[in-house]
Each structure stands twice: as structure tokens, then as C-alpha cells.
Amino acid sequence: MPKIIQDFIPKSQTNQRPGHSMKPKFLTVHGTANEKKGADAEMHSRYLHNGAGGRVVVWHYTVDDKEIYQHIPTNENGWHAGDGERGTGNRQSIGIEICENSDGDFNKAVKNAQWLIKKLMKEHNIPIERVVPHKHWSGKNCPRLLLNMWSTFIDGIEGKTVEAPDQEVESETVTNGSIVDYLNSIGKDSSFSARKRYAADYGIKGYKGTAKQNTTLLNKMRKGKPSKPKASYIGKRVESKHNGQLRFYNKPSWSDKHVAGYLKKGYGFPTIVDKVKVGKGYQYKVKNSKGHIYYVTASKKYVKVE
């Protein structure tokens, strides 16, 4: 296995050490696009230490055919994804550059990068779908030598999490993009625990994040609203347990002028239709035996539902 040399850029050099804290969720793969002799990992480390020609740029690792240089810690962000100061690529991904120097063995460098990726996936619990090319974030043709063989590159990451092949995926399977991309694109949390919650909302039982479940979830989320489970109070009777007179209203309101009447303890309405937020509290929208709609507090302090 290749040697990892940690040669961190000093914190004072803020163009190359922005230092925003980061919990890495993606691995971003780049190619140096520098075929010059000697343009290896050590040379790129020096380049960054020397100020990167005045550019504000930095990534986490550079890999060549012999060794790996780490330039900044993985819990700090880099500037390598081209998706902006707050971009997910820049702020949530570990950047890995693969050297293309003509005096090196590119295939070996790729193998070393695959080894590093496998290690980082394990360390940071990053799934294979989150190993992405630079192009994913900004459209840049990078890593130019790997883009047309990306799936082969991914397949070469030994021991990557292999998901069961999909055989009974619905006909409208979405093939462009993953659930993670989709959630990121609409600004929603795409973590596993969040996806588990969405899956529950959409009635996907036992969500483990398999490829099939991800596809189902993506399709459902793209189609829109989850089928809201019927709240337990709907259709039930609500009655006052308040010792005094409990107000009910002809509008969702707490205002005196909307008071429609009063309930004595033990009196109530036969049917709850809905629960609505009114100001800081909640009211039940209720129907009386004649079908008229009223509103009454939903506070457990004053009413009970049965």
C-alpha cells in the first residue's frame, strides 16, 4: 500500500487552509491535468505550500504512483469543487487529485487513489454513490482521463459496498441522478438518518438504503406529497373536561368576537374533522350533530378525545 505523508499547510496560510470545519460526506476525484515530468504528489504539495501561484485553491490529498500527500485535515474544507463558497462539493467533500505526470505510472496512481478512496469511505462511512468526479459539482471536465471510464474506476475500488442488483424496479425508474443528488438539489438533508425519515413518511418500510429502496424513494419524492397517515383524533369525539365554561368558536380564532358558545364539563362535539394551528396553540375543527363546523381548543388541559 502507498505511504500517506501528512504535510499540512500552516493555518496562517488561509488561501490554502480555509479551515471551515467539515464533516465529510462525499469524496471528490480530480485529475491534475499536468503531464509535466516531475509533477507528482510531492511537487503538488510544494505548489500548495508555496501559495499555489496566488490562487485560492486547496484539496485534501494528492496521489501519484508511489505515494500520497495529505495537505489539510479531512475535518476541514478545501476549495477544489468549483461549486462556490458554500457549495456541497467544497464544504462537504474530501478532494483527491490523481497525478498525470508523464514520468509516472498513471494506472498505478489510479490504483493508489482507489486504495485511498476505499480507506476514506470506511473511515468516514461514505457510501460508494458519494464517490463523485469533480464534474459532478461544477460540470468541469475533470478528472478528464477517468470520466469516460467512471464506472470502471468505481468498480475498481476494491471491497466497495456492492448493492443487490435491481430486478423488480418500477417501470419509471429514474436513472439520471441519485436520491442524494436529488435531496441536495432541493436543499434537503440527504444523510442516511434523514432518508430513513423520508422513507417512513412515504410508507417505505424497513428502510436500509438499498439501491431499490433509494430508487423507490426518489420516485415517490419526485412525485410529491407523502400520503399523510390519518391522525388518530380524526373522526373522534371531543369533550370538555374543564370545570368552568369552555368557549368554542365559529372561526379558527381565540378572539371574543368569534365565540359561538360555551361547553360545560362533559359536553362536546361528536366529530373531530381536523386540527389547526391558531396563534400559538391548536384547535380542533369539529362538527356538531347537524354538520355545523366549530373550533375548540385542542389543549389536553381542557378537552379529552375519545
Give me the residues that bind Zn ion (CB under 5 A), please.
30, 134, 142
Q: Tell the smallest beta-carbon distance from residue 142 to Zn ion (Å).
A: 3
Nearer to Zn ion by Cβ, of 61 and 284: the residue is: 61
Nearer to Zn ion by Cβ, of 60 and 195: the residue is: 60
Q: Tell the smallest beta-carbon distance from residue 74 to Zn ion (Å).
A: 18
What's the rounded Cα separation, in Å, for the pair 112 and 3?
10
Q: Tell the smallest beta-carbon distance from residue 174 to Zn ion (Å).
A: 27
Buried b (16+ CB within 10 A) or exposed e, 261-272: eebeeeebbebb
Nearer to Zn ion by Cβ, of 83 and 239: the residue is: 83
Letter for the amino acid at 185? Answer: S
Nearer to Zn ion by Cβ, of 51 and 139: the residue is: 139
List of residues 6+ apart from 149 with CB closer than 8 A: none
Nearer to Zn ion by Cβ, of 18 and 209: the residue is: 18
What's the rounded Cα separation, in Å, for the pair 91 and 76?
8
Q: Tell the smallest beta-carbon distance from residue 14 to Zn ion (Å).
A: 21
What's the rounded Cα separation, in Å, for the pair 71 and 221?
39
Q: Tell the smallest beta-carbon distance from residue 81 to Zn ion (Å).
A: 8
Give the Cα-Cα-Cα angle 199, 202, 204 (nearest 5 degrees).
55
